[in-house]
């Protein structure tokens, strides 16, 4: 989403170009793109990027939802593996030189709010939910391009903070659906603090993930 790009753009002073936002990290050229929400958009955006640019390493950076009710907002998630819920395909990222990789990230196009489902996923080692990473990993593996993922917790799946209505406040490209937000606030007149809390969590998580990604890549290219 654009809000996930924002801290990267600021930290690296990226400038808009035809293929995305470009700049440098040390002496290495970097390009950042927004994929949109969901596996279809993420896979297509990754394929377009790899068709347009000679990419050495793809790093997925952004927010993710915790599968439990106690992981702190802003906590980094560095999964050992990523699973596509649609077909069970498993992908293993290139380890990053920041933090310790653990657990499974579960990529799904569905909004999972059932606590029974959450408990089952936790029993299988799942630590967080996202909607893009497995699709990006699939394209990278098919093209022989190294990939990694660093995300941070923006919300918790089991605490009721995100539901279908909340999910509908964002367009597929990740931008805010202002008309839907207006209608939502008319229906839920006391919801502004809830939306503000979610926004703070998302912004914190995006910043934490961006900082960790920059640190990890810097350590790798300077080693």
Q: Express each pLDDT in 172-218 by its tens digit.
A: 888 999 999 999 899 998 999 999 999 999 999 999 999 999 999 99
Distance in angstroms (rounded) separating the CA atoms of residues 80 and 180: 37
pLDDT of residue 18: 85
Q: Give residue 62's region: left, alpha or beta (phi > 0; psi -120 to 50).
A: left
Please provide residue 173's backbone torsions phi and psi, each rounded to the nearest 5 degrees. -85, 0
Burial of 106 (0-12, 13-18, 19+ CB in 10 A): buried
3 and 202 Cβ atoms separated by less than 8 Å: yes
Banded pLDDT at 52 (limits 50, 70, 90): very high
pLDDT of residue 162: 83
Question: Structural domain tally of the chain?
Answer: 1
pLDDT of residue 190: 92
User: pLDDT digits over 105-123, tens only?
Assistant: 999 999 888 899 999 999 9
Banded pLDDT at 222 (limits 50, 70, 90): confident
Cα Rg for the chain, rounded, in angstroms?
17
Give, as one character, the DSSP assignment of residue 130. Answer: E
Q: Is 64 helix (H, G, I), strand (E, B) or coil?
A: strand
Domain span including residue 209:
2-222
Residue 15, beta-bridge partner list: 22
The CATH number linked to 153 is: 3.40.50.1580
């Amino acid at each position: 989403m654009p809000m996930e790009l924002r801290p990267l753009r600021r930290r690296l002073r990226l400038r808009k170009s035809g293929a995305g936002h470009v700049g440098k990290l040390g002496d290495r050229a970097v390009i950042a793109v927004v994929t949109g929400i969901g596996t279809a958009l993420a896979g297509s955006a990754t394929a377009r990027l790899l068709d347009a640019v000679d990419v050495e390493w793809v790093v997925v950076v952004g927010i993710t939802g915790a599968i439990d009710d106690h992981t702190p907002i802003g906590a980094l998630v560095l999964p050992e593996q990523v699973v596509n819920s649609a077909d069970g395909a498993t992908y293993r990222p290139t380890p990053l030189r920041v933090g310790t990789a653990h657990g499974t990230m579960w990529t799904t196009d569905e909004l999972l709010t059932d606590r029974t489902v959450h408990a089952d996923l936790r029993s299988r080692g799942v630590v967080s939910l996202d909607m893009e990473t497995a699709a990006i990993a699939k394209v990278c593996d098919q093209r022989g391009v190294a990939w990694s993922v660093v995300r941070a917790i923006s919300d918790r799946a089991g605490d009721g903070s995100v539901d279908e209505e909340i999910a509908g406040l964002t367009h597929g490209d990740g931008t805010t659906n202002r008309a839907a937000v207006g209608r939502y606030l008319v229906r839920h007149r006391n919801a502004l603090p809830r939306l503000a809390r979610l926004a703070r969590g998302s912004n914190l998580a995006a910043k934490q993930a961006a900082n960790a990604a920059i640190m990890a890549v810097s350590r790798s290219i300077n080693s």
